[in-house]
Structure formats: structure tokens, C-alpha cells
Amino acid sequence: MGLQFAARRWKALYLRAMSILKPKQPRPTSPLPQLRSKQGFSLPTWAIIFIALIVSLGLITVIGQTLSQASREASVPLGPTLPAFHGTPLVGGNAAPLLMGGTLAAPGALPLGTPPPPPPGTPRCGGPDQLFLLLAGLDNEANYDNALADSIRVARFDFIEPSISILTIQRDSWVVIPDLPSNASKNLSGFLGQMVNADGSPTFPPADYGKINIAYFYGNLYELPGGGPALLAKTIYLNFGVPSDNYLVMNMAAFRDVVDAMGGLDIDVPRDLNDPEKDWYFKRGIEHMDGERALEYARIRHPDSDWDRTARQTQIMMAVRDKMLQPDHWKNVPAIINQFIDNVRTDLSRDQITQLLCLASQTPQEGIRTYDFSEKMSVVARTDHGASVVLINPVAAGNQVYEFLYGPPR
């Protein structure tokens, strides 16, 4: 008994001494609770912070990869891109003589001289200094291959000094169509005929010329590189010296759907228009048009001329731009863009579309300029097969092209 009592006494004294000598643990100051397992194991605060950093870095990496993928997808062209153009523009001095008022006009040289230096500054909206966009509206309702380019324009977007310039080219313009196989040239000549002099000799080289609107169709038909958009773009470049960086092609169904998605357009009809052949009638004044009605307004031509028709198309383009920029319609823009992308052919990327919309919102009304080869610059004639064609004076065309490319004189 005495030994047992003594042993217990010594053990108690030992434990008391150890408790006195052992340094006290400081109370944790971190607000983070310690993790404790069911067995009572706990993690110190530094370990918790370390694990949190590892998890955060992992999340950042995953999010970064997702955003990078989305960025790459947004920069991918939505269709086949235009191949590089080769050749010297004919309006640079090599254009064939045009039949003007019964006499042969001398070839005109594009008055390029020394192009003015680009304006200094940083491009807005994350875009390039400028972008040339080929715009084509087709006469087809159902598809994009078996169609003619019923409406042809090239738009120049300037991102440094916000401005948008639009050049309209008449669909009946008589031009050289390059790169066609020999059977295509023969078919073109047989279909449209030739411009001939009084003695029956060809005014232009046989089988080289045709209406510009057929270039899109032949590019698709003969499966040329880049298809219809590429051949149309190259035809414009070689005949008028106007380049294209990208293209956007819309058929009639897509046009109608986009206008409907916008809730229609308010168009100020300048005068009464009547086309008894198609039973289309427009009364002077402001009319709210849905997609079908706006399409009729864009196509009606028999009351006047093709120049008046292209002016109405430009009026619709401006109405679309104004509608898109109204704050009440901003909430509809994403849905319109998605429908727009799904129903058209273009090699623009989603990033580029965003940049163009941004530039349009920053361009004042006076910064939008339109150009065309007016009736005063042209002669309407007929081929020996009776096809109506437009012959453009190369000198006047050169002046218009110069101003379109470089802006009005300063």
C-alpha cells in the first residue's frame, strides 16, 4: 500500500511539473476555423490558406482556358475567307473605251497621285484602321448558290476617325469578269450578247464582258476559289480599283427575317410609287413596313429607274442603322445578331461584327457618306441580244472611287 501511494504521488507531481514547464499555445488569431476530422485531426491556418490558393489557381486556370476558347471561337470567320486578289485594276489606265453618247471615250486613269496619309490616332472599338466590306443582296428566296447579285455595295469602315462610306455599283454595269473558263465566257456571250459598233464589230473584246451581277452566280457555278463572293469581289477590284477585306451576302428570305426581328422599319416614302406588274403600291409619306413590305420597297423599279431603286435600298440601310441604335431596341440586338448570323453568308467573325456595331454607334450622321456612279456618269445601252446594260465613264468613276477610298478633300 505504501509503495502504491508513493507511486501515485510521484506521478501527480511529475504531471504538474510538466504542465508548468510546457509553453502555452497561443490562441489562433485567424478568423478561419480549423478543419477537424472525425478522429479529431485539425489543420493549421497556414495549411488552409495554402489549399485555398491551390484551389483558386485551379479555378482561375479553368476559367482562363474557357475564356480563351470563347475568345478563339469569337475570332474565327463564320465562312470561307476571300482569297488574295491579283492583277492591276483596269480603271488605273487600262480600261477599254466606253460607248458614251455615240462616241468612244478615251480610257480614264484613276487620279490616285499620292494617296493622303492616314489620319493619326488609335482605332476605336478594337478594330483595324479601316475595313472594306462587300455587301451583296441576292435575287434568290431559297438559297445562296443559284442567284444573281441584285444589290451590290462596298462599305469602307474607318475606325480612327469614325466614318462609314458606302459605294453603290449598278447591277447592270458592263464589266470584265475575270478567271472564267472558256466555256463560261462562251455561255456568257451567248446569254447576254455583245456590245457592237454600227458596222457590227465588237465594241469590247468578245466573251470578256458581262453584267457585274452575274459574277456571283458564275463564281458558284464553276466552283472558283472562294465561290461567288470571291469572284464578285475580284470583279469589283479589277474594274473599279475597290478592294474588299470581307463580305456579307444576304438573300431575300434573310432580309425579310431580319427586318421582322427588328419589329419593322419606319420608311419615309418620298413620292407615290406604283408597279402594276407586281401589284405593288406605295403612298407618299411615312409607312411602317414589315420584312415583306420592306423587301417590296427595295425591289420596286418600274415607276422610275434602277438608280432610284438603289437609292431606296440605301434608305432602308440607313433605317436599319437608326433602328439598331435606338436605346429601346438594344435589348433585341443579341437576338437579331444571332438570327442575322444564322441566315447570311459572311466571313466576318463575331468579334468583327461587334466592332462594326460599335463603330456604327460612334459614327455621327454626317460621318456616313454614300457614293455611286450616277446617271450622269453612265449610259444605258443594249447588247445585240437586247440585254440592258450600264456603261460607266471611267474618268468620272475614277473621281468617285478616289473620294470613296480616301475621303472628301480636306
User: Residue 21's pLDDT is what?
Assistant: 45
Point out the least confidently predicted range of 121-125, 153-157, 377-381: 377-381
User: Residue 37's pLDDT is what?
Assistant: 45
Sketch out the chain's domains with CATH numbers: 88-253+344-406 (3.30.420.590)
HEC letters along the chain? CHHHHHHHHHHHHHHHHHHHHCCCCCCCCCCCCCCECCCCCECCHHHHHHHHHHHHHHHHHHHHHHHHHHHHHHCCCCCCCCCCCCCCCHHHCCCCCEEECCEEECCCCCCCCCCCCCCCCCCHHHCCCEEEEEEEEECCCCCCCCCCEEEEEEEEEECCCCEEEEEEECCCEEEECCCCCHHHHHHHHHHHCCCECCCCCECCCCCCEEECCHHHHHHHHCCCCCHHHHHHHHHHHHHHCCCCCEEEEECHHHHHHHHHHCCCEEEEECCCEEECCCCEEECCEEEEECHHHHHHHHHCCCCCCHHHHHHHHHHHHHHHHHHHCCHHHHHHHHHHHHHHHHHCEECCCHHHHHHHHHHHHHCCHHHEEEEECCHHHEEEEECCCCCEEEEECHHHHHHHHHHHHHCCCC
User: Residue 73's pLDDT is what?
Assistant: 75
User: Residue 33's pLDDT is what?
Assistant: 46
Q: Which of 377, 403, 389 is nearest to 177 (CA)?
A: 389
Pick 396 or 401 by higher pLDDT: 401
**87 has pLDDT over 70:** no
**104 has pLDDT over 70:** no
**Residue 27: which pLDDT band, with cuts at 50, 70 and 90?**
low
**128 has pLDDT over 80:** yes
**242 has pLDDT over 80:** yes
60-80 pLDDT tens trace: 665 555 545 555 678 888 888
**185 has pLDDT over 80:** no
pTM of the model: 0.77
Average pLDDT over residues 79-92: 73
User: Residue 359's pLDDT is what?
Assistant: 94
Amino acid at 230: A
The Cα 314–Cα 371 span in angstroms is 10
Q: Which of 92, 214, 192 is nearest to 147 (CA)?
A: 214
User: Residue 337's pLDDT is what?
Assistant: 79
Average pLDDT over residues 228-256: 93
149-167 pLDDT tens trace: 999 999 999 999 999 999 9
**112 has pLDDT over 60:** no
Q: What is the average pLDDT score of the chain? A: 79
**Residue 93: which pLDDT band, with cuts at 50, 70 and 90?**
very low
Percent of the chain exceeding pLDDT 70 equals: 74
